[in-house]
Amino acid sequence: SKKLRDGSLPPDHVFYAYVGKVRSKGETNCITEFLQESESQLRKVKQMEKQGLLYGVPISIKDSINCQVPPGHDSTLGFIKQIHKPAAEDSVVVQVLKRQGAIPFVKTNVPQSLISYDCNNLIFGQTRNPLLFTRSPGGSSGGEGALIGGGGSILGLGTDLGGSLRFPAAFCGICAIKPTGNRLSKRGVIAGIAGQKAVAAAVGPMAKDVESLALCMRALLCEDMFSLDSTVPPLPFNEEVQSLQGPRDLWGELQAENTSPMGGHLARAKCCFPDSPRGVGVLLAPLAPLQPASPSPAGKGSATLFVWVAKAPCWLKTLLPCWLLPEKSQEPSWMPKESLSTPTPLTTSTFPPQDFRHQFIAQWNKLNLDVLLCPMLGPALGIVAISYTMLYNVLDFPAGVVPVTLVTDEDEEQLKGYKGYYRDWWDRTLPKVSGAFRGGVGMPVAVQCVALPWQEELCLRFMKEVETLSLKKNSFF
């Protein structure tokens, strides 16, 4: 970006270099459309009187984010019935990116309906992980994860309702941030569940490094976005937080045992992980489609499960959390007991558990936490559960993913004796899933960084600290 703005890199060279990269990424099957009219946008960018923060930067866009570049492009969500229904106008985030000089040049694949953690549909087929074709790239922003992780794009936009930015980032070895739900405009972004209000979906950037995420957020959080969508709080990027120098006291106390190679790395980091299974589990009753899914490279199973659950009667949906939660519910000692035992309106409505959220924030403040370091599912597995991600959608907290290490032979050897945390049906089943703990050597392992609502800048700052430290030591801590 800096070289484009100072003229040492011509925009044409950068644009066509990434067009060439995209054409070489056919084996991952991550692209749904090349935006032919992006060449016209390139010419407009070169004639700009004022260079924006993303001047000349090619950017990829998730299928569900409307892009109207004439004659308009479909936002299919993987549904055949959505073919040949071009967007009438650009989404607000795409409009702002263009005004900042970015060049949207491709749209990327998603799973059908977006409600899956794999990336497969009947229109475009299965997207593969660029690091290991037999593994899923994650979902629902799986096309973005695969394209950026494979080097075909330098910056992309995705969405997140239960981990849809964070799973692809973790599985493909890149960075992503899920902002607070209404920090960035969602006007012109098509939802997987129309009208769903219980959990706030979010639009967020994906990139190879944290500084690129910060640059994208800085570019989006501007007067253009606030004027184009008056429902977005006019909160510009907080440069003061982002520019703080030197490490801060960001560590809490380790309170969780984790699967995968992450456990040992987190233990060395001394983190505080709020394991809140009941708060998330209750939410799953009215939002039945948001279930732990079992995607595979073949893409089978998850769509069938979604349809079955969607058709299930309401009384059965209310019982689903009993099956999803561990047999031995071990509430964390720090969590207010009343939040786990008090009846919640979620059993009869689709409104978010505000009491639970307030109690969580109160406990956060009581512990005097700045930010939170916690696990992210990984490496790319054959089975996916939302226990590490969904909590921060329910709470509507900003949460980012940073890759910190790679799976080693020693990691896989240690996992041969894995027994799990609760030692319930889920823990007994996980090691039996084909490929769950085998064949992942060299695959990335990531962590989540979490902050309070509207504190994306602090979250990014923390992510940068984690990224710097992991790069410095070539291993996490």
Neighbour-count burial of 7, counting CB atoms closer than 10 A to its CB (0-12 exposed, 13-18 middle, 19+ buried): exposed
Q: How confident is the model at residue 318 (pLDDT cuts 50, 70, 90)?
A: low
* Residue 84 Rama label (left phi>0; alpha psi -120 to 50; beta): left
What single-letter amino acid sits at 201?
A
Tally of CB atoms within 10 A around 208: 17
Look up 140 and say whether it is catalytic: yes
Instruction: Point out the least confidently predicted range of 15-24, 202-211, 311-320, 362-371.
Output: 311-320
Look up 2 and say whether it is catalytic: no
For residue 473, pLDDT beyond 70: no
Q: Is the peptide bond before 403 cis (omega within 30 degrees of 0)?
A: no
Catalytic residue among 25, 62, 98, 464: 62
Give the pLDDT confidence score for residue 311 in this predicted structure: 72
Q: What is the mean pLDDT of residues 72-96?
A: 91
For residue 290, pLDDT beyond 80: no
Give the pLDDT confidence score for residue 244 in this predicted structure: 64
pTM over the 0.95 mark: no
Catalytic residue among 1, 164, 212, 339: 164
- 298 or 172: which leads in pLDDT: 172
Q: What span, in angstroms and rounded, lies between the C-alpha atoms of 382 and 465?
A: 31
Per cent of the chain over pLDDT 70 is: 74
Reading the block at residue 114, the tokens are: 């977006």
What radius of gyration do the chain's Cα atoms show?
21
CA–CA–CA angle 79, 85, 87 (5° rounding): 110
- 400 or 299: which leads in pLDDT: 400
Q: What span, in angstroms and rounded, lies between the C-alpha atoms of 55 and 101?
A: 4
Give the pLDDT confidence score for residue 259 in this predicted structure: 41
For residue 425, pLDDT beyond 80: no
Helices (H) and strands (E) in the chain, counts: 19, 11
Average pLDDT along the chain: 81
- Which range of 9-18, 260-269, 355-364, 369-378 scores highest in mean pLDDT? It is 9-18
For residue 110, pLDDT beyond 70: yes
Q: How confident is the model at residue 310 (pLDDT cuts 50, 70, 90)?
A: low
For residue 2, pLDDT beyond 70: yes
Return the CATH fold of 2-242: Amidase signature (AS) enzymes (3.90.1300)
Q: How confident is the model at residue 314 (pLDDT cuts 50, 70, 90)?
A: confident
Give the pLDDT confidence score for residue 352 in this predicted structure: 52
Q: How confident is the model at residue 477 (pLDDT cuts 50, 70, 90)?
A: very low
Look up 300 and say whether it is catalytic: no
DSSP 45-112: HHT-SS--TTTT-EEEEETTB----TT--B--TT-GGGTT-B-SS--HHHHHHHHTT-EEEEEE---T
Reading the block at residue 470, the tokens are: 């992991």
Per-residue pLDDT tens over the stretch 158-198 = 999 999 999 999 999 999 999 999 999 999 999 988 878 78
Give the pLDDT confidence score for residue 28 in this predicted structure: 94
* Residue 96 Rama label (left phi>0; alpha psi -120 to 50; beta): alpha
Q: What span, in angstroms and rounded, lies between the C-alpha atoms of 28 and 250?
A: 38
Reading the block at residue 125, the tokens are: 């087929």
Q: What span, in angstroms and rounded, lies between the C-alpha atoms of 359 and 367?
A: 12
Q: How confident is the model at residue 305 (pLDDT cuts 50, 70, 90)?
A: low
Q: What span, in angstroms and rounded, lies between the C-alpha atoms of 58 and 327?
A: 49
- 176 or 334: which leads in pLDDT: 176
For residue 306, pLDDT beyond 90: no
Per-residue pLDDT tens over the stretch 35-75 = 988 999 999 999 998 899 999 999 999 999 999 866 678 89
For residue 221, pLDDT beyond 60: yes
Give the pLDDT confidence score for residue 330 in this predicted structure: 47
Helix (H) or strand (E) holding 336: none
DSSP 120-144: EETTTEE---TT-TTS---SSSHHH
Catalytic residue among 38, 60, 140, 260: 140
For residue 262, pLDDT beyond 70: no
Q: What span, in angstroms and rounded, lies between the C-alpha atoms of 186 and 175?
A: 21
Q: What span, in angstroms and rounded, lies between the C-alpha atoms of 118 and 295?
A: 5
Helix (H) or strand (E) holding 4: helix 2-6
Instruction: Point out the least confidently predicted range of 102-111, 216-225, 373-382, 468-477.
Output: 468-477
Q: How confident is the model at residue 316 (pLDDT cuts 50, 70, 90)?
A: confident
